[in-house]
Chain A
Amino acid sequence: MAVPVEGGRLEELYLQHGRPAFRLACLLTGDEQEAQDIAQEAFVRLGGRLVTLLDPDRAAGYLYRTIANLSRDHGRRLRRDRSLRDRLRSPERPVSSELGDRDEVWRALMRLSIRHRTVLFLRYYLDMSEASAANALELSVPATKSATNRAAKALRAELGGQR
């Protein structure tokens, strides 16, 4: 069901960025269900900031940054849960929606840091320019370039280590 919000602007942004936002969340969490929740939460936060985020590029940057931050929080929560489960010696929670064991490449991606996955996604999946990626990550262009190189190197190392 489509939702008209803020003169349809949020919906418009969802149509434009909903798919990549969801996919970024999938890449960062490795869980489709969590990715849906995180993407929705990111749009909620974006909706709360629409008054100040008039520039579409800035809005998109805010959205991707929020997804990265929420995914990081999710990762921390997951680690806490695992630690608690380990202490209680309870069995692992079955997660039907995990994308985890799809293939070797996916596992290699999952071993990268959130920042590395985010920068790879922005630069290689969305084909963002260095300037746009830098804006989304709130980094300088040189720092973004350096992060991209490090992320690509890390991925190559992960894949090389597997082979």
Chain B
Amino acid sequence: MNDDLNISSLLRSRLDALEPPDSLPSETAARAKRRRRQSAALSVLGLVAVGIVAALFANSVLGTDLFDAAGREVAAHRLTPSRVAELGLCARDDHHPRSLINNLYRSVLMLQDGSDPFPYVPVKRREIRRISRTVWTFRASGVRFEARTVSPRKDCWVLASVTTVGAPPPVEKLTAEESRVSFDLDWGKAQSADVFLSDRPSEAEAAVAFSDTPGSAVAFSVYLFVPTEQPFFASVALSRNGHVVSLEQGWYRAP
């Protein structure tokens, strides 16, 4: 191609006359060696840094924050109770929906016999540094209860659950509006409703509506999971038919 030849000859005519030194300057070899050593040292440092980051990541996902990661999955509605059971995470009490979640969180909440119908006993495991809870019991009679919990901490997880006691009342509706979760309870099998997790880690909301069934009771349990031993601030509001009937807020500590 004529153009090619022109460009080649143009370049040759201007560059061929330029001659470099006959050999490399004497310090070139020493500089190259130094550079190679620096590169090797940087590679090792890089590997160490990658290892540290990987270890931190593994620890955060698989270690103490395991429940946190799992909670996110539940909150994102990717992990249904049946899926949890499939994964073998549910072994304690298959007919109790909450136990699925409890097992998932590596915590054990046991219903005890006695006068108090809600003596859930949180058993601390190594993976969970902190569990707190607030329980209310109400007589339910054609009312709608809502529990809303907020913590300014972004590294804690809030769970709201509802449990009925006595004769299981017919449920008209059971939703957690803000978390966009809805469950239909099978009252013939369990007296306990399910656990609600919000999409946002530090907030949870559960709502339930009952028809007139005197003599039944309902409890909202709010569990706050924080991955540190530090005290944390949280507020829990319970409303009935849209009006706040109970507001509790303050600093919570490990039991």
Binding site for B on A (CB under 8 A): 1-6, 10-11, 14, 18-19, 21-23, 26-27, 32, 35-36, 39-40, 43-51, 99, 102-103, 105-106, 109, 120-121, 124-125, 127, 152, 155-156
| CB within 8 Å of A: which B19-67 residues | 19-26, 28-29, 31-33, 35-36, 38-39
**A41 → chain B, closest Cβ, in Å?**
9
Known A-B contacts A18-B24, A102-B14; A47 and B29 likewise in contact (beta carbons under 8 Å): yes
CB-CB nearest in chain B for A52: B39
Once the chains bind, are B28 and A26 in contact (CB under 8 Å)? Answer: no
The answer to whether A14 touches B23, judged by C-beta atoms less than 8 angstroms apart, is: yes
Could you tell me the dominant secondary structure of chain A's interface residues? helix
B-side interface residues, number (CB < 8 Å): 28
Known interface pairs A14-B23, A14-B24. Does A121 touch B11 (Cβ–Cβ under 8 Å)? yes
Question: Known contacts being A47-B35, A106-B14, is A120 close to B28, with CB within 8 Å?
Answer: no
Q: B1-16: contact bitstring with A at CB < 8 Å (1 yes, 0 no)? A: 0011001101110111
Q: Are A18 and B20 neighbours in the complex by a CB distance under 8 Å?
A: yes
**B26 contacts A105, C-beta separation under 8 Å:** no
Chain B residues close to A by CB (< 8 Å): 3-4, 7-8, 10-12, 14-16, 18-26, 28-29, 31-33, 35-36, 38-39
**Known A106-B14, A124-B4; contact A40-B24, beta-carbon cutoff 8 A:** yes
